[in-house]
Amino acid sequence: MKGNRPLVEPVYRSVKFTFPSIEASLTPEAKEHGFDYTRDSNPTTRQLELLAAELQGRDDAIALSTGMASIWLTLLGNLQAGDRIVLFLETYRPTRIAVRRFLPRLGIEHTMIGIQDRDALEAALALPDTKLAIFESPTNPMMHVPDIAALTKLAREHDVITVLDNTFGGLHNHGELDLDYYVHSLTKYGSGHGDAMGGVVIGDKARIKALHPLAVNMGATMDPGVAFLMLRGMKTYYVRYRKHSANAQAVAEFLESRSEVAAVYYPGLRSHPAHALAARQMQDFGGVLAFDLAAGKAETWAFIDALELFITTASLGSTDSLVAPAKLYLGGDLTPDEQARAGLKDSTVRLAVGIEDVDDLIADLKQAFHRVFG
């Protein structure tokens, strides 16, 4: 009926689009805002891109099929043979693998340093072939919080591009900081339900426009059906993220009170060494935390297996609470020395806290402690 509109936008499943005439298809308006082929752009996917960019406080974005496709787009779109990338030891495992195993095949070298090693960072950024630095905040899985403003200032001084994997931080955090690109695995907090995979690269309009031809040619475009699921998930993004954060805070405080726990890593805790910095940089602290049990590998794995509500798998951001043996699942590509430097022990456990009733989650942890430690 005239004047009516849908409250939920439809899914544009069409691969192809047409114009009323060839001349109409060649106008600046058609080239800037029109649609031709879904691998190039799609109305449903475009809606998600503009929403993600707005939430992150930037002009534009490109939605892709996975979070790792987004990582690869920022790397391949800004690096060439002979360039160097700065990578941090405390980084998402697939990103480390991309940089250390696959980029050297393209003639791209790397320097891997600790996220808190300021002297090593300055030295690495000062190298003449260093072109890009990629990092996370908070880091996966040990929840280090770098001083992003200090890091980006150093990068600017050496004309080095900065890429923040902001998946843990979320789309509403870190937007006021001087970063060139934000990357998110929308599979996590974006979708929120563990049933859709996708990623997004966010930046200013000029940078995103420069990346777009490569994104199209890579063929890693997000499917419009997935974009619809992401848009649906984003309707509850703030409610979910804040519930994740509140639950994680309560669980972290509970774990700090247990004699079986040697250390808890969560920036929302006042005991976290970067709590004050995290509070300045973030509105919420997210749903992921790690802790070390005062135990060996056998007891740690038994504790994980004893949990009933926490499901053993390596992901985050969905409604369900998840648990992972951090060293096994998240540090397998590192040498023993690198694992030690990253703080990964056989007793390290990572929790991705969901949005269930927090009393139920704490009760599950209590029963696991009782079953394993008595």
Encode the chain (374 residues) as per-residue pLDDT tens digits.
Answer: 567 888 888 999 999 999 999 999 999 999 888 999 999 999 999 999 999 999 999 999 999 999 999 999 999 999 999 999 999 999 999 999 999 999 999 999 999 999 999 999 999 999 999 999 999 999 999 999 999 999 999 999 999 999 999 999 999 999 999 999 999 999 999 999 999 999 999 999 999 999 999 999 999 999 999 999 999 999 999 999 999 999 999 999 999 999 999 999 999 999 999 999 999 999 999 999 999 999 999 999 999 999 999 999 999 999 999 999 999 999 999 999 999 999 999 999 999 999 999 999 999 999 999 999 99
Q: Give the full edge-to-edge strand order of the sheet including 322-325.
A: 261-265, 288-293, 348-352, 322-325, 311-312
Q: Which one of 199, 234, 269 terminates a domain? A: 234
Pair (29, 141) in one structural domain: yes
The residue type found at 81 is A
- Residue 86 contacts by C-beta under 8 Å, 6 or more apart in sequence? 110, 111, 113, 121, 124, 125, 130, 132, 133, 134, 160
Pair (69, 183) in one structural domain: yes
pLDDT tens, 235-289? 999 999 999 999 999 999 999 999 999 999 999 999 999 999 999 999 999 999 9
| Alpha-carbon span 184 to 2, nearest angstrom | 39
Sign of CA dihedral 305, 308, 309, 313: positive
Asked if residue 6 is part of any domain, the answer here is: no
| Alpha-carbon span 190 to 234, nearest angstrom | 6
Pair (242, 340) in one structural domain: yes
Q: Which one of 181, 204, 234 terminates a domain? A: 234
Domain of 319, CATH number, reads 3.90.1150.10
Domain of 178, CATH number, reads 3.40.640.10
Question: What is the total count of domains within the chain?
Answer: 2
Residue 359's domain spans which residues?
A: 237-373
Pair (52, 197) in one structural domain: yes
| Alpha-carbon span 62 to 208, nearest angstrom | 7
Pair (62, 161) in one structural domain: yes
Asked if residue 118 is part of any domain, the answer here is: yes
Asked if residue 189 is part of any domain, the answer here is: yes
Q: Which one of 177, 203, 234 terminates a domain? A: 234
Pair (74, 193) in one structural domain: yes
Nearest Cα to Cα of residue 72 among 217, 279, 257, 205: 217
Asked if residue 14 is part of any domain, the answer here is: no
Asked if residue 196 is part of any domain, the answer here is: yes
Pair (51, 191) in one structural domain: yes
The residue type found at 291 is F
Pair (257, 144) in one structural domain: no
Pair (200, 114) in one structural domain: yes
What is the pLDDT at residue 153?
A: 98
Asked if residue 3 is part of any domain, the answer here is: no
Asked if residue 11 is part of any domain, the answer here is: no
Asked if residue 269 is part of any domain, the answer here is: yes
* Long-range contacts of the stretch 341-344 (C-beta < 8 A, 24+): 341/89, 341/114, 342/89, 342/90, 342/142, 343/142, 344/141, 344/142
Pair (55, 88) in one structural domain: yes
Pair (176, 268) in one structural domain: no
Pair (250, 230) in one structural domain: no
